[in-house]
């Protein structure tokens, strides 16, 4: 890649991205309207030193994951994101792979839902991003790697968390996510990670293998879930899954019926610091 050009593009887009647009407080006197390097590092999950070395052309091999995180944090559109991948010497994920780019419009929607537990997943149910209230309610997955960030893998391999599902609900959810993976595999035949995920699930989980062999087909519908939260108590919340046309992203949001005890407890969780509890998505 042309390291100088990559760094120049990073700096140009960092100067353009305001803290408010990135969902961060402006915070006192600023010499420039754009993001500080420390803020970009926070948004991407990489170190300030690495951000600095990339901008100065001293780091020459950013991974696809790093470039994707930068594109998301800098609110790049589709063409800008593709250009950043090109400058990094990488091919942007193509039509045959599961898209994971959060468009600026979807990101603005997430910013406006700060008072609602909300997260975004790709078509294979890998978590891309979650807001702080989601992490407080469900547990923080940002530090997890590989399949442990995948909802389907966690459903079939991890022990139950503090979400209480009946046997029927677990079966319905299992059928729905298996059907989702089958559809994703047909739409994205070149995605190696998706093929590996399905292979591991079919090998390691009898329940998944059974649903897969049966040709499980089922819509992913809204559901009401009982959550036993260790800080604010039990809440009955509605869980809605919205699909973004054209990108196959899944926006998952939890809401409470207004005027209920669950609504009060969810509001309390938003006030008491949104402490992170490890749980299940």
Cα of 223 vs its chain's centroid, Å: 20
> Are residues 48 and 111 located together in one domain of the fold?
no
Q: Which of 87, 116, 150 is the last residue of a domain?
A: 87
> Are residues 20 and 126 located together in one domain of the fold?
no
In a domain, 92, yes or no: no
Q: Could you tell me the residue range of the domain that residue 220 belongs to? A: 104-271
- Residue 174 belongs to domain with CATH number: 3.30.450.180
In a domain, 99, yes or no: no
In a domain, 171, yes or no: yes
Q: How many domains is the chain built from?
A: 2
Question: Are 74 and 87 a contacting pair, CB within 8 Å?
Answer: no
Question: Are 231 and 275 a contacting pair, CB within 8 Å?
Answer: yes
Q: What percent of the chain has pLDDT over 70?
A: 88
- Predicted confidence at residue 2, as pLDDT, reads 62
Averaged pLDDT for residues 69-94: 84
Give residue-wise pLDDT tens across range 105-115: 888 888 888 88
- Predicted confidence at residue 23, as pLDDT, reads 65
> Are residues 247 and 132 located together in one domain of the fold?
yes
Task: Identify the sign of the CA torsion 88, 94, 100, 106.
Answer: positive
Give residue-wise pLDDT tens across range 122-153: 999 998 888 889 888 887 776 677 888 899 99
- Predicted confidence at residue 244, as pLDDT, reads 85
Who has greater pLDDT, 40 or 22? Answer: 40
Indicate if the pLDDT at residue 156 is higher than 70.
yes
> Are residues 41 and 14 located together in one domain of the fold?
yes
Indicate if the pLDDT at residue 65 is higher than 70.
yes
> Are residues 143 and 240 located together in one domain of the fold?
yes
- In this structure, of 22-31, 114-123, 125-134, 200-209, the range with the lowest mean pLDDT score is 22-31
Q: What percent of the chain has pLDDT over 90?
A: 32
Who has greater pLDDT, 143 or 45? Answer: 45
> Are residues 197 and 264 located together in one domain of the fold?
yes
Averaged pLDDT for residues 175-179: 91
In a domain, 56, yes or no: yes
Question: Are 60 and 73 a contacting pair, CB within 8 Å?
Answer: no
- In this structure, of 100-109, 149-158, 270-279, the range with the lowest mean pLDDT score is 270-279
> Are residues 17 and 149 located together in one domain of the fold?
no
In a domain, 93, yes or no: no
Distance CA 3, CA 19 (A): 26
Averaged pLDDT for residues 81-101: 82
pLDDT band at residue 255, thresholds of 50, 70 and 90?
A: very high
In a domain, 279, yes or no: no
Residue whose structure tokens are 């009898």: 206
> Are residues 80 and 208 located together in one domain of the fold?
no
- Predicted confidence at residue 280, as pLDDT, reads 40
Q: What is the DSSP string of 51-91?
A: HHHHHTT------HHHHHHHHHHTT--HHHHHHHHHHTT-P
Q: Which of 27, 60, 87 is the last residue of a domain?
A: 87
Distance CA 118, CA 120 (A): 7
- Predicted confidence at residue 276, as pLDDT, reads 46
Q: Which of 26, 58, 87 is the last residue of a domain?
A: 87
Nearest-CA neighbor of 134 among 117, 149, 111? 117
Who has greater pLDDT, 219 or 227? Answer: 227
In a domain, 132, yes or no: yes
In a domain, 276, yes or no: no
The helix (H) or strand (E) run that includes residue 128 is strand 127-130
- Residue 24 belongs to domain with CATH number: 1.10.260.40
- Predicted confidence at residue 22, as pLDDT, reads 67
> Are residues 83 and 112 located together in one domain of the fold?
no
Give residue-wise pLDDT tens across range 231-241: 899 999 999 99
> Are residues 57 and 108 located together in one domain of the fold?
no
Who has greater pLDDT, 66 or 220? Answer: 66
> Are residues 55 and 164 located together in one domain of the fold?
no
The two structure tokens encoding residue 186 = 């047909």
Question: Are 195 and 98 a contacting pair, CB within 8 Å?
Answer: no
Q: Is the pTM of this model over 0.85?
A: no
Mean pLDDT of the chain: 85
Who has greater pLDDT, 247 or 206? Answer: 206
Reduced to 3 states (helix: H, G, I; strand: E, B; else coil), residue 237 is strand
- Predicted confidence at residue 204, as pLDDT, reads 94
> Are residues 83 and 120 located together in one domain of the fold?
no
């Amino acid at each position: 890649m042309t390291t100088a050009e990559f760094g120049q593009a990073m700096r140009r887009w960092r100067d353009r991205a305001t803290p408010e647009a990135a969902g961060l407080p402006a915070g006192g006197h600023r010499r420039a309207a754009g993001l500080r390097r420390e803020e970009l590092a926070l948004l991407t999950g990489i170190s300030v030193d690495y951000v600095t070395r990339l901008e100065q052309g001293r780091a020459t091999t950013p991974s696809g994951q790093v470039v994707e995180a930068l594109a998301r944090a800098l609110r790049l559109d589709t063409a800008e994101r593709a250009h950043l991948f090109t400058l990094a010497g990488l091919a942007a994920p193509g039509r045959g792979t599961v898209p994971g780019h959060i468009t600026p419009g979807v990101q603005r929607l997430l910013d406006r839902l700060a008072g609602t537990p909300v997260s975004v997943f790709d078509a294979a149910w890998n978590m891309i991003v979650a807001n702080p209230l989601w992490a407080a309610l469900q547990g923080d997955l940002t530090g997890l790697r590989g399949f442990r960030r995948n909802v389907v893998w966690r459903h079939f391999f991890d022990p139950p968390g503090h979400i209480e599902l009946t046997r029927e609900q677990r079966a319905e959810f299992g059928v729905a996510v298996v059907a989702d993976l089958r559809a994703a595999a047909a739409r994205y035949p070149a995605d190696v990670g998706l093929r590996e995920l399905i292979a591991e699930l079919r090998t390691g989980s009898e329940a998944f293998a059974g649903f897969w062999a049966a040709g499980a087909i089922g819509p992913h519908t809204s559901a009401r879930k009982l959550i036993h939260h260790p800080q604010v108590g039990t809440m009955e919340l509605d869980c809605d899954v919205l699909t973004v046309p054209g990108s196959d992203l899944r926006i998952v949001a939890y809401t409470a019926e207004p005027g209920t005890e669950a609504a009060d407890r969810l509001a309390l969780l938003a006030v008491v610091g949104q402490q992170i509890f490890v749980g299940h998505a």
